[in-house]
Amino acid sequence: MEAINASIGFDQRLAAQDIAGSRAHAAMLAATGILTDKDADAIGEGLLTVLSEIEGGTFQFSTALEDIHMNVEARLKELIGDPAGRVHTGRSRNDQVATDFKLWVRDQLDATEGALLALIRALLTQAEAGADWVMPGFTHLQVAQPVTWGHHMMAYVEMFARDLGRMRDARARMNECPLGAAALAGTSFPIDRDMTAQALGFDRPAANSLDAVSDRDFALEFLGAASICAMHLSRMAEELVIWSSAQFRFVTLSDRFSTGSSIMPQKKNPDAAELIRAKIGRIFGANVALTMVMKGLPLAYSKDMQEDKEQVFDAADNLMLALAAMEGMVRDMSANVAVLEAAAATGFSTATDLADWLVRVLDMPFREAHHVTGTLVGMAEAKGVDLPDLSLEDMQSVHADIRKDVFDVLGVHNSVASRVSYGGTAPAQVRAQVARWKGIVT
């Protein structure tokens, strides 16, 4: 029973939040006359001593005391005696743990915000440097149209910025204080819940005591936002694995974020990207696991909810590690500009530019232009050349009205320069987006 019941092995990570909540609660009890100032001062000072012991590594955690709350209170009693027994007046472990956990998740949301901002800034640096570098854009992992390196980097800026928004939204929504809800029904003591909420940085007290102690939406929302962010990290990690391969050679990763082989001296493995890709599964798993814990629970508190923390702790640790590793890789990686440009010119990547020219200049219906372009692609393929290598006579054999200025749109640089619509890949558009985002995140 002791083994299955105890949570101190993992919830000791809530020590700082637990002590902050107890100090705020004691101060409120004194302000409302429920505790004497003398007892409240002793509790407050004693809790700071306990915190220093925990942070200093001298605190002895006991499995017999089950959790962080009882471990702290037992040590407080050893330090200050009877007043320690008064700190629990007007509360329960149910609202105490909900408060501690909310404080921890809130801190983690703030840390995640910082890590996302750092990654976004690293991507902006890459985007600004490569606003003019041409590379292939892909659909189905097949060359589709030329884009710029800066445009590709800015796609990830948009993704991670949405993740940033989700973290901020989650923080704003969760910022209600459960403390004072007691076991489930509130308390008969004349407590001041607004005071404790304000002391702990919450916007307001939670409005329903049943909901306050049984709610873990804040943890689930963090895991949901973390899962989407993790998915974005995994997509980018996959691209870096592909791009750094000998077959692509689009990027060179730094030695700091690569490893060698134990047997093949030529190898430079993108292990950081691969580990990011793998660790993401732990975050997805945590999201599913906590959802399964909560899905069948009646109100209010059930011991099942003790299983909420390990999932969140592990997901948070792995998300922060993945964000830091990705930021490092992005900051250190070098784009192989010549290789990117050469690849951009393969696979008939300017076929759409040719079709657009036929529509724009010859006033051809797009479906007919699509057919003409497809025929020219087939001709080029049969000759073993790309579209710009066809002669004007070759093109006019398919459609007599094609003129020599068609070749102006077939170069990859001309192609990307023409994509001037808002959100397009033209270097001017990329620079405008970089400037906009730099104004937001710096």
Contact 217, 302 (CB under 8 A): no
Long-range contacts of 56-60 (CB under 8 A, 24+ apart): none
The residue annotated as part of the active site, out of 52, 261, 302, 391, is 261
- Pairwise CA distance, residues 76 & 68, whole Å: 12
Reported as type and span, the H/E element at residue 142 is: strand 142-148
Say which residues have a Cβ less than 8 Å from residue 367's Cβ, sequence separation at least 6: none
Respond yes or no: is residue 261 known to be catalytic: yes
Residue 343 has φ and ψ, to the nearest 5°, of: -65, -35
Letter string b/e over residues 146-164, b meaning 16 or more CB atoms within 10 A of that residue's CB: bbbbbbbbbbbbebbbebb
Respond yes or no: is residue 140 known to be catalytic: yes
Contact 68, 50 (CB under 8 A): no
The residue annotated as part of the active site, out of 140, 188, 262, 421, is 140
Say which residues have a Cβ less than 8 Å from residue 312's Cβ, sequence separation at least 6: 101, 105, 108, 219, 222, 223, 286, 290
The conformation of residue 297, written as its DSSP 8-state character, comes to P
Long-range contacts of 378-382 (CB under 8 A, 24+ apart): 380/348, 381/348
The conformation of residue 391, written as its DSSP 8-state character, comes to -
Alpha-carbon Rg for the chain in angstroms? 30
Contact 319, 229 (CB under 8 A): yes
Which residue numbers are catalytic?
A: 140, 261
